Amino acid sequence: EPEVTQTPSHQVTQMGQEVILRCVPISNHLYFYWYRQILGQKVEFLVSFYNNEISEKSEIFDDQFSVERPDGSNFTLKIRSTKLEDSAMYFCASRIAGADSYEQYFGPGTRLTVT
């Protein structure tokens, strides 16, 4: 069964460094999402992406964050200057297009630790 993959599974970085989290959505999906989950807290929406542009973003998704689909398969989340509070699990999700496409498929997540 097709699945969303994410790399790396765990990323450790120092405060102030840039990180890029990578996701490979399911191949025929056209809607892409990033969510995060701080340890012990709720899963929070960050951003959705369709047709090569951001369709919606949360207030968490400030100027330090950016997303890109650099080629036909990858979907990346960049954090320009990481802060301690960016430590979290980051989940990528994707969805096929169409009104009947109700399911978002989530990847296994990348655990980001900022020291």
Partner 1 sequence: DAKTTQPTSMDCAEGRAANLPCNHSTISGNEYVYWYRQIHSQGPQYIIHGLKNNETNEMASLIITEDRKSSTLILPHATLRDTAVYYCIVRPGTWGKLQFGAGTQVVVTP
How far, CA to CA in Å, does 110 sit from each of 51, 72, 98, 102?
24, 21, 28, 24
Q: Is 30 in the site for partner 1 (CB under 8 A)?
A: no
Residues paired with residue 44 on neighbouring β-strands, in sequence order: 36
Q: Which of 21, 29, 32, 33 binds partner 1 (CB under 8 A)?
A: 33
Q: What is the per-residue binding string for partner 1 in 44-83, x denoting contact by CB under 8 A?
A: xx--x-------x-x-------------------------
Q: Please, are residues 60 and 36 in contact by the beta-carbon 8 Å criterion?
A: yes
Phi, psi of 94 (to 5 degrees): -140, 160
Phi, psi of 85 (to 5 degrees): -75, -5
Cβ proximity to partner 1, 48 vs 87, nearer residue: 48
CA distance 78 to 86: 12
Q: Which stretch binds partner 1 (CB under 8 A): 7-15, 36-44, 60-68, 74-82?
A: 36-44
Q: Which of 32, 91, 112, 114 binds partner 1 (CB under 8 A)?
A: 91
Q: Is 89 in the site for partner 1 (CB under 8 A)?
A: yes
Q: Which of 42, 52, 53, 71 binds partner 1 (CB under 8 A)?
A: 42
